[in-house]
Structure 1
Amino acid sequence: MTGRAAEMRLLLPAGTTETALIDGISAAGAAPELMEHTPSADVEILEYGEPVMSPVTPVSPNGCPTPAAVTRAVREVVDFDVSVIDAGLTRSTAAPTVDLGGSPGTDIRDEAAVPDAHAAFDRAYDYGAGLPDDRVMIGETVPGGTTTALGVLTALGESAGVSSSLPTNPIERKRRVVNEALAASDLEPGDCAGEPLAAIAAVGDPVQPTVAGIAAGALESGTDVTLAGGTQMVAVAAALRHAGIDAPLSIATTSFVADEQGERLPEACERFDCDLIVTDPGFDDREHVAMARYCAGEAKEGVGMGGALSLVPDGEMDAVRDRLEAVCTRLGIDGDVDDGENESNTERNAGDGASEGDREP
């Protein structure tokens, strides 16, 4: 490792929601029985550089690896501390975790998607308030998370959009699911304004109250907080502001999310009084399948990717790209952009798929 991010810790709540199992909602795994392993694999890649216990390697059919690979590559160049929080994992992981007693989320079209949202927030708040760090970044990994983010934003009466893993965002499909979810909870858009935990309980996922609780506890104890992610973190920022927490807050994301969202992202950050940090990793400088797929609009963000990239000092991004190629090799991804080569990689990683909610088809 060539350097160290001064006094910075990445906190990574990881969890699952049955919302990801809705047909066409999540790209986090080729089959439901494998999808639930994705967050566990993500945290192993972040901690060890490759899956250890998890039976899946999150890679899209086109050869795009989970953003965990990018965050890991940054960590190999600019060292920083990581704490993984079990925020409702379905499958165990070899990575060390902080267990806050979270449970996996249900389908948001059920009457209650996160029945213990209030308790999860309180436990996370206590954890965040006790952190010794001066500065923290909070990321996330949860398949289906942009759909649950849209659900929470809609329940709060906020118009911010959400990202997608593909160049063409199937936002109407997500809106239909959210509308069904609101109806199942006997809610109309905006009914939960000022009551963010009610919104999460009805149409959210278990990672949201954990991220929001950690952020709230840390902020109110004087810790500097950056939400490391894309439009899912916009939903968390909205929840914090609706809870009356007005402390300074930043969102750090990638140029891939920013380019897709256009003016919607800075407008949302302005509305929720958040500083916006956007980092371009310069993937278009390399002829490598992983970086080419990001440039084509896949994945975009997740597992703290945007926040990690923001820690890279000037002149060191080329080293990050070098390390990403090395991580991809460990994950069984051949850098060749030839379609036939990509297909063979995907076959070796049977059942793989990109992870986290900003990676939805």
Structure 2
Amino acid sequence: MRVLLPAGTTETALIDGISAAGAAPELMEHTPSADVEILAYGEPVAAPVTPVSPNGCPTPAAVTRAVQEVVGFDLAAIDAGLARSTAAPTVDLGVEPGNDIREDAAVPDANAVFDRAYDYGTSLPDDELLIGETVPGGTTTALGVLTALGEPTGVSSSLPENPIERKRRVVDEGLAASGLEPGDCEGAPLEAVEAVGDPVQPTVAGIAAGALAAETDVTLAGGTQMVAVAALLRHADVDAGLSIATTSFVADERGDDLAAACERFNCELTVTDPGFDERDHVAMARYRAGEAKEGVAMGGALSLVPDADGRMREVRDRLEAVCARLGIESEGDGRNDEQVDDGTATEDTRGS
């Protein structure tokens, strides 16, 4: 199994109150670069920050890295519009950072990005791919694309209280700046991305379309951002089988709406509960409180963990070790399930 992580940025994320993907707006553009380094090396190497929300919730990259250390998977990171360089190896598809969707063109080269990503997707030798994403502000651009396509427009949020009305106002302004009304881009998915999307969307959609054309099994690893990608693919007349794998945190917030969206776009849905209610570690507590919920292929990675033999417990053990490596310590030491010694877990995983 190969996990692909397109990583990019959009100036939409800098709009006040849109995203929790970083403790401060001026640090947010470092988040995708740091996420890639955490997956590649277990901790940031060149990125000057560890992505943490204002309330201390670590990036989902910590969870995905914990899964990688337990079950193992191959990783390929794709530069899908990074604003800041990363020390991790990346595939360069010539993608530029995205503009604020309230400008007249959010992703001016959406068609060219899709085409290059498609060629990359057809070239991959794998039988199965799991494609994630990291792009602050991505639920707002997902809302923008879905609205432009005329699709139902519920999206989740990295914040405990979803600022959906604020996002809708931003999307309305973005559509107006591009001279569009909701639904005007039906059947023209890349026009929707160009107007109110982000550069990660055509990258993921292009890779997925190319891989599906090569008869590779594709799972989109994420929540409502991947529903938007599925919508783009279906509006591009890509009708091959497609799966979406996300977390119970997204499913709990979206309820029946998520299942309905997957049914609408003919996607098999997998929801995984990582069992964070079994621990009192601050990181898991913040996820239970509704922060972050998904991202950096978290839901897809968790779906790779076998149910048997306590493997998800191992993931929780390893997540505590990853958090310690990132400088995030638990606020309590009470545990509700059996686990290995913290020091041993940290020693075994450091640098791996």
TM-score range, shorter chain: over 0.9
Deviation at 1:107, TM superposition (A): 0.3
Q: How does 1:111-130 map to 2 (within 5 A)?
A: 111-130=104-123
Q: Secondary structure at the match of 2:45?
A: coil
1:316 to 307, 311, 320: 311
Cα distance in structure 1, aligned partners of 2:249 and 2:258: 12
- Indicate if the aligned counterparts of 2:24 and 2:54 stay in contact, CA closer than 8 A: no
Query: Are residues 1:41 and 2:49 paired?
Result: no
- Indicate if the aligned counterparts of 1:160 and 1:268 stay in contact, CA closer than 8 A: no
Cα distance in structure 2, aligned partners of 1:276 and 1:286: 27
Cα distance in structure 2, aligned partners of 1:31 and 1:163: 20
Deviation at 1:313, TM superposition (A): 1.0
Q: Secondary structure at the match of 1:320?
A: helix
> Where in structure 1 are there 5+ consecutive unaligned residues?
1-7, 339-361
Partner of 1:351: none
| Larger displacement relative to structure 2 (56-65 or 13-22) | 56-65
Q: How does 1:32-181 map to 2 (within 5 A)?
A: 32-181=25-174
Deviation at 1:211, TM superposition (A): 0.1
Partner of 1:5: none
Query: Are residues 1:224 and 2:225 paired?
Result: no
Deviation at 1:29, TM superposition (A): 2.6
| Larger displacement relative to structure 2 (19-28 or 318-327) | 19-28
Q: Secondary structure at the match of 1:140?
A: coil
Deviation at 1:133, TM superposition (A): 0.1
Q: Deviations over 1:103-134 (max 9, x none)?
A: 00000000000000000000000000010000
Q: Secondary structure at the match of 2:269?
A: strand
Give runs of ≥4 in structure 1 deviating > 4 Å: none
Partner of 2:184: 191
Q: 1:297 to 1:337 in 2, by over 3 A?
A: farther
Partner of 2:246: 253
Q: Deviations over 1:48-103 (max 9, x none)?
A: 11100000101123221000000000000010000000000011001100000000
Whichever residue aligns with residue 140 of structure 1, its letter is: E
Q: Deviations over 1:3-44 (max 9, x none)?
A: xxxxx0000000000001111112223333321111000000
Partner of 2:7: 14
Q: Secondary structure at the match of 2:72?
A: strand
1:294 to 275, 287, 290: 287
Partner of 1:328: 323
Q: Secondary structure at the match of 1:12?
A: strand
Q: Secondary structure at the match of 1:55?
A: coil
C-alpha root-mean-square deviation of aligned residues, in Å? 1.0
Partner of 2:271: 278
> Where in structure 2 are there 5+ consecutive unaligned residues?
334-352
- Indicate if the aligned counterparts of 2:37 and 2:86 stay in contact, CA closer than 8 A: yes
- Indicate if the aligned counterparts of 1:84 and 1:97 stay in contact, CA closer than 8 A: yes
Cα distance in structure 2, aligned partners of 1:184 and 1:294: 36
Count the aligned residue pairs: 331
- Structure scoring higher RCO (CA < 8 A, sep ≥ 6) equals 1
Identity %: 82
Cα distance in structure 2, aligned partners of 1:61 and 1:189: 33
Q: Secondary structure at the match of 2:245?
A: strand
Whichever residue aligns with residue 73 of structure 1, its letter is: A
Whichever residue aligns with residue 336 of structure 1, its letter is: E
Q: Secondary structure at the match of 2:165?
A: helix
Q: Secondary structure at the match of 2:268?
A: strand
Deviation at 1:169, TM superposition (A): 1.3
